[in-house]
Structure 1
Amino acid sequence: MYLDDNRLVKKPEIQKLLGVSRSTLGRWIKSGKFPPPVLIQNGRSRWRFKDVHEWLSTK
């Protein structure tokens, strides 16, 4: 399956991918363990897929 590296992913997608809760992901972002969102619109956060993928590859 082809995934565009620049596509924006939502917090629920990241939670499912990482197997973590919303609060855990929030703590990771706040503490700098996980990259911050690149776009926050109407209170909803989005990350570039390539940023999440790069973070995963370092773990």
Structure 2
Amino acid sequence: MASPFPNNVNLQDRRVARRRASDMQDYRLLRLQDVLTLCAMSRTSIYDAIKHGQFPSPVHVHGRSTRWVSKDVHDWLAARILQQRTKHEQPQ
């Protein structure tokens, strides 16, 4: 497979570019429907949680258009999972 980089780009620059590209996956913007599917929550529940500071706020991208940063949503999900697991593992 041919390299996506020109021959004059050194190996270190190629590694940095690939790492940055993979890091950008964390900052992909999600639509509301994607967030609803990922979190298995209703639209009302999402917006209530945002109002109470319990869910990441969306980013306003243009006019009335909003998106959620995928890293924020995934971090929130990971925290919820950890919270639930540690809650159930505590001795009585």
Larger Rg: 2
**Where does residue 52 of structure 2 map in the other structure?**
31
User: 1:43 and 1:57 mapped to 2: Cα distance?
Assistant: 29
Structure with the largest fraction of strand: 1
Cα displacement (A) at 1:40 = 4.2
Structure with the largest fraction of helix: 2
* Match of residue 20, structure 1, among 18, 27, 41: 41
Q: Which amino acid aligns with 1:30?
A: K
Cα displacement (A) at 1:49 = 0.6
Equivalenced residues, count: 58
Gaps (5+ residues) in structure 1? none
Q: CA RMSD in A?
A: 1.8
Gaps (5+ residues) in structure 2? 1-21, 81-92
Q: Percent of aligned positions with the same letter in both sequences?
A: 36
* Match of residue 6, structure 1, among 11, 19, 27: 27
**Where does residue 57 of structure 1 map in the other structure?**
78
Comparing both chains, which one has the higher relative contact order based on Cα–Cα distances under 8 Å and sequence gaps of 6 or more? Answer: 1
Normalization by structure 1: what TM-score?
0.82
Cα displacement (A) at 1:42 = 2.3
Q: Which amino acid aligns with 2:62?
A: Q
